[in-house]
Structure 1
Amino acid sequence: MSTDSSLSIHINSQSRLFPTTHCRTKALQGTETTQHTIPLSILDATVANFAATAGVWIYDPPSCTSDHGHTAMSAACLKQSLQETLNAYPHWAGQLEWTRPQRPHQHHGVNDHTQRHGRVQVTCGSPSDPGVEFVEAYCDNMAVKDLVPSGEDRAGKCKVWDVSSMRARELFPSTVMALRGDAGAPGMKVQITTFADAGIAIAIMFAHPLADAQAMSHFMHDWAAVNAAMVANAQIPALSPVFDPSLLDLAAAGDIDSPSPDAEIVNAAQELPVHRFDWWASEKGCPDGWDEATKIPEEFAGSEDARSEGKPMPWSQWNIDAPVGNYLVHFTGKEITRIWKTACATVAEEDKSSAAGLPSRHDAILAHMWILINRARDSKSSSTTSSSSTTTTSGVDLIHLDLTLGVRSRVSPKLSERFVGSPIFLAHYSLPLEAARSSPLGKIALGIRGTTALFTTPSVAALLHEKAHQVSAQRYWDGFCGRHHVIVTSWAHLNVYQVDFVGDGRNVPRYVLPLMPDVDGCLQLMEARPNGLDQEDGVQGGLNAEVKDRKEKRHWTDNGVDVKLQMEAEALQRLLNDPLLRKYA
């Protein structure tokens, strides 16, 4: 690995792309437009202020002896196939914007939930559509092998890797995105960076209401399939994303278009473990630069809705100026199995028959990491009580694992796995500090499983009703950062290492990076790259086995799990040096 982490990136071209069927494309200029506006879902609106959904797929130089691989991974070919793929996702080239609601203080007279304050919509099919920002770039001072360790090295000699050395944000276009900039700002942007050794980085970013990680992953698979077909002069595959935000809203309980919420349904929703920190009640102690979010909009001045304050943000628990580390920790398939078996073995006898069932591997690895995080954080400062912290009835501060949960399979009728948008929300599992750092692994893993099990179809329907009737979609934040919180997001089951733009089964990404904000308390986990080092129960977890039979039923952890952790730098170093980290190696 190079000790010089700076990237010398030169922009070759910068443009806006549109689907080939769009009226802005050269062949269709002058044709009749079909502009239409689609309100996005309840949950899409709640994530409007979240950090963008973003990832980088990094590929080694094409190894094909023919020109096939080089053509497939060229910026020109990727650009052409991207436009073709956008035909199935035309709204991503449209304008993501705020709705123009009726006067907000008249909220309880608005009978269309999509037109309340803070709701978002997409207008597309017009010559004024902003398109997708597309940048072609070249890095002349770095080879891919010097940018990112190989999958084998990450699983072997460097099971811990400082991700910040990669300087990933330099691989994305700098253009301001929709909802953050002026009219005409794009909701999606892509940068193709070719490195000195002909390796490629494909960086993609969405305004969060347009796509969560699952929607982004499905799009990457679609784009790769279209690219491979075009290079092979084969028929372009039929793509089947589902973009109909109303399907999610229809799953809400009660009448979400009524002037007022149903008190019984709201009470049921508020029994669920969801934080509901109120931005409008959080001006005191708010860090500089963030205070705009705490101001009650002028339209609400004097309204009853604005006067009802909720729970303030616990600012004293989060030092936003503290340096944040960013490390990737790899666990082998065998380690994951041992962690899971230990979790199951340490579940108390009286809990083994719980309705939630025994912990999964996913629960177990989260429990293991959360224990490590709580051990690493300064216990003296963590136990300092503040007026805004969440406490038990006995006054003991609680520590929170804020879990990002998807709703595609939690609503009725279920949404397609290919449902496009951000159908996610945050829940929390909480314990007193001492219990969160020293309880048996099985107790914490079962607690995580029990928390997620609370979000049944009726519970989620009630939660959607509550959120639909909130006076402003971004008023509440259901997570937080700092020493009492960890926000968890999972990319499990997304098959991100099977995004093959060449189509030969061997164009496996060297590394897939989920781009997360540099904040104290952000944990992301995903399946690791197939390599020749991880084996579980006699099954070779290597690349050749993966290519040989992709239909073989395997567990998502068989190739190991990568955990990317961002937290206060000193605490993170303590975690990395904790013997418990590798107890199950």
Structure 2
Amino acid sequence: MKRKQNVRTVSNYQSELTEAVHCRTNTTTPVLDVRVHPASKAAPHTGPIPLVCVPAVSMPNAAGLVFYDAEGAAALDDLDALQRSLAAVLSAYPQLAGRLRLTQPGDEGRPYTKRYKRTWMSYGQADDPGMRFTVVDDARSLAEILPSPLEGHSGIYQLEAVYDLSLGPELSKPIDAPGRGDGGDGATAGVKITRFTDGAALCFASSHALFDAGALGTFLHDWTAVHAEIAAGKTPTLPSRPFDTDALDALAAGDLDADAADPALVETEAALDVFRYDSWARDPTGKDNPPAPLDAALVPPAEVDALDAAAGRPRGTPPPWHTASGAKPLTYGLEFSADDVRRIHKTTLAGSDSFVSPQDAFAAHIFRLIARARQHSPETQLDFEVACDDRRRFDPPLPETAPGCFNVCLGFNVRAGDVLAPTGGVVAAQRVRSAIEGVTSERLAAWLHRRAHDLDPTREWIVFPGNTTVCSTNWARSALYDADFGAGRPCYVHNLVHGFGGYLVIARKAVPRGEQGSKWFEPGVFVALWLEEEAMGRLIADPELRG
């Protein structure tokens, strides 16, 4: 597919974005909006979601968006066939057609599953909402949506058009969000197909409590496999994807129903490199506290205030409110070749006295670039965070295909001066490696124990979106890249999310047809980065951008 060259400069980016948002409101025509239910109805089920998924309840929906060129999009024309195969694969994922709710008086279950703000799921019921399946036609071409080159900067792209939340299905809001009674009609998962003039986009989204990025890719891979078998006239072979709360919660250590957490397990859990910003904590000097509206809201809820008082109202580290910024970040894509990644890794290894992986070195390289671009003073403490898939780190290990949310966002502080020094890439890479190797089955079991005893599962924040924070997630190994409905793989893959300044997604360059390469960074890497405007300008001009 030959792509139109939509070139934008940094200076005219914001004005063109405003115009584009205004003009795109009338480009779509509704085609279909239905609910799809499992072909084989599951036995009625009502019960708690696994502890490992509870922290994700308040997060925005997980959403994977794949684009197909005109040839690949032809496989999405038969909407009846897509619905049949979707219904078939939902038989292996009945929770995606069900509901999520907060625990209610009268729920039958163990005490820890009925504590404040615990989430329950139900499916196999007569009133299941089903999975939302939406199709629209869009008068735009793919060239108007996909990343477009930034003038004067080779391998740099502007991405705002592709991060359009209207490309995703409308679903229920997180269960504790204000005004949850929205147009999602209770649906916790959905598919939206947008048919452009020369291609198509397919977005699969789910409540983050049910799916993380890895599970998104597995589901789409399972769907395309079932779709291919049905298209070939075969009876589809359904995958085994159990989502068993009892089995997953059995991985937790200690007594989950006790009145308080085990102090020894709390100490074990504290060894994990994870930020635990306490939203109930306040700066005793009064200089670094939340603004007035939040100050009144971020307090112990009435339902648990007595328990908090009985425990002596212990408080942790307050969020660094002074780093918060209301400035809207730019969203750019940074392209790196496989040779760039190899060179960055080789340089990092040469300066390190311990093992670091290519992924450690590459994430550290981006961290350092952002620190340079933000021009931090040497004594500034920086928050670096890396999302880590922990499926294989439990005892016993879980399959990589397990549905649910198993991401733990690892975090650690680094002094800016240490990262800005010539050896800063090595320092950051070693800290990334140390954090990952610190995720042991013993600490994860203790982490689950703490989740069972949280007074409020939304109290602690593992990420604070301030101007000293960099948060990285890696989609390069996602099965989304293999989502072939019969006419080719996607030509572009990304997660549909509104990031904050300092948030980045490391992705793999998509190859619709032909060889992709065996390494996660082959044939190349594409980094989606959100960053403050002035810092972004400095970053893309950095002579060390590609190592």
Separation in 2, partners of 1:116, 1:55: 32
Relative distance call for 1:306 and 1:70 in structure 2 (3 A) is farther
State whether residues 72 and 227 of structure 1, in contact with CA within 8 Å, keep that contact through their aligned partners in structure 2.
no
| SS of residue matched to 2:494 | strand
> Quick check: 334-343 or 73-82, which moved more?
73-82
Separation in 1, partners of 2:319, 2:444: 24
Q: What is the CA distance between 1:15 and its match in structure 2? A: 2.2
User: What's the TM-score, normalizing by structure 2?
Assistant: 0.87
Relative distance call for 1:71 and 1:491 in structure 2 (3 A) is closer
Q: Per-residue displacement from partner, 1:416-452 (whole Å, max 9, x unpaired)? A: 1111110222221321111122251223212210121
Query: Which residue, out of 79, 83, 95, partners 2:99?
Result: 95
Relative distance call for 1:258 and 1:218 in structure 2 (3 A) is same
| SS of residue matched to 1:22 | coil
Q: What is the CA distance between 1:112 and its match in structure 2? A: 2.6
1:447-458 matches, within 5 Å, as: 447-458=431-442
| SS of residue matched to 2:132 | strand
Q: Per-residue displacement from partner, 1:506-565 (whole Å, max 9, x unpaired)? A: 51211112122231221111222138xxxxxxxxxxx4234xxxxxx8222121112111
State whether residues 286 and 315 of structure 1, in contact with CA within 8 Å, keep that contact through their aligned partners in structure 2.
yes
Q: What is the CA distance between 1:101 and its match in structure 2? A: 6.2
1:122-521 matches, within 5 Å, as: 122-140=121-139, 142-149=140-147, 159-179=155-175, 180=177, 181-182=180-181, 184-197=185-198, 199-281=199-281, 285-286=289-290, 294-303=298-307, 304=309, 305=311, 307-319=313-325, 321-347=326-352, 351-352=353-354, 358-379=355-376, 396-440=379-423, 441-502=425-486, 507-521=488-502
Separation in 2, partners of 1:35, 1:223: 23
Relative distance call for 1:171 and 1:111 in structure 2 (3 A) is closer
Aligned to 1:70: 74
| SS of residue matched to 1:435 | helix
State whether residues 85 and 223 of structure 1, in contact with CA within 8 Å, keep that contact through their aligned partners in structure 2.
yes
Aligned to 2:529: 565
Q: What is the CA distance between 1:336 and its match in structure 2? A: 0.5
Aligned to 1:554: 518
Separation in 1, partners of 2:296, 2:168: 27
State whether residues 320 and 466 of structure 2, in contact with CA within 8 Å, keep that contact through their aligned partners in structure 1.
no
User: Which residue identity does 2:246 align to in structure 1?
Assistant: S
Separation in 1, partners of 2:82, 2:297: 39
Aligned to 1:42: 51
Matched positions, count: 514
Q: What is the CA distance between 1:288 and its match in structure 2? A: 7.3
Aligned to 1:82: 86
State whether residues 92 and 132 of structure 1, in contact with CA within 8 Å, keep that contact through their aligned partners in structure 2.
yes
Q: What is the CA distance between 1:11 and its match in structure 2? A: 1.7
User: Which residue identity does 2:40 align to in structure 1?
Assistant: T
Q: What is the CA distance between 1:73 and its match in structure 2? A: 4.0
Separation in 1, partners of 2:96, 2:366: 36
State whether residues 296 and 306 of structure 1, in contact with CA within 8 Å, keep that contact through their aligned partners in structure 2.
no
Separation in 2, partners of 1:401, 1:73: 44
Give the % identical residues.
28
Separation in 1, partners of 2:508, 2:488: 17
Extract unaligned runs of 5+ from structure 2: 7-15
Q: What is the CA distance between 1:208 and its match in structure 2? A: 0.7
Aligned to 2:13: none
Aligned to 1:536: none
State whether residues 412 and 457 of structure 1, in contact with CA within 8 Å, keep that contact through their aligned partners in structure 2.
yes
Extract unaligned runs of 5+ from structure 1: 24-33, 64-68, 104-109, 353-357, 384-395, 532-542, 547-552
Q: Per-residue displacement from partner, 1:210-261 (whole Å, max 9, x unpaired)? A: 1000111100101111222222323313212231133332112222222222
State whether residues 97 and 122 of structure 1, in contact with CA within 8 Å, keep that contact through their aligned partners in structure 2.
yes
Q: What is the CA distance between 1:282 and its match in structure 2? A: 5.6
Relative distance call for 1:35 and 1:178 in structure 2 (3 A) is farther
Q: What is the CA distance between 1:297 and its match in structure 2? A: 1.3
Relative distance call for 1:237 and 1:92 in structure 2 (3 A) is same
User: Which residue identity does 2:56 align to in structure 1?
Assistant: V
Separation in 2, partners of 1:545, 1:475: 46
State whether residues 171 and 188 of structure 2, in contact with CA within 8 Å, keep that contact through their aligned partners in structure 1.
no
Relative distance call for 1:220 and 1:375 in structure 2 (3 A) is same
Separation in 2, partners of 1:58, 1:293: 41
Aligned to 1:387: none
Separation in 1, partners of 2:208, 2:422: 36
State whether residues 280 and 459 of structure 2, in contact with CA within 8 Å, keep that contact through their aligned partners in structure 1.
yes
Separation in 1, partners of 2:494, 2:39: 29
Q: What is the CA distance between 1:331 and its match in structure 2? A: 0.9
Aligned to 1:544: 514
Separation in 1, partners of 2:265, 2:422: 35
User: What's the TM-score, normalizing by structure 1?
Assistant: 0.82
Query: Which residue, out of 536, 541, 545, partners 1:577?
Result: 541
Cα RMSD of the aligned pairs, angstroms, is 2.7
Aligned to 1:389: none
Relative distance call for 1:89 and 1:254 in structure 2 (3 A) is same
Q: Per-residue displacement from partner, 1:7-63 (whole Å, max 9, x unpaired)? A: 31122222222112239xxxxxxxxxx421131111211111112111211101126
User: Which residue identity does 2:537 align to in structure 1?
Assistant: Q
Separation in 1, partners of 2:422, 2:252: 37
Q: Per-residue displacement from partner, 1:142-178 (whole Å, max 9, x unpaired)? A: 112332159xx89xx9522111033521212344435
State whether residues 11 and 138 of structure 1, in contact with CA within 8 Å, keep that contact through their aligned partners in structure 2.
yes
| SS of residue matched to 1:202 | strand
Q: What is the CA distance between 1:307 and its match in structure 2? A: 2.5
Aligned to 1:28: none
Separation in 2, partners of 1:236, 1:510: 27
Q: What is the CA distance between 1:203 and its match in structure 2? A: 1.1
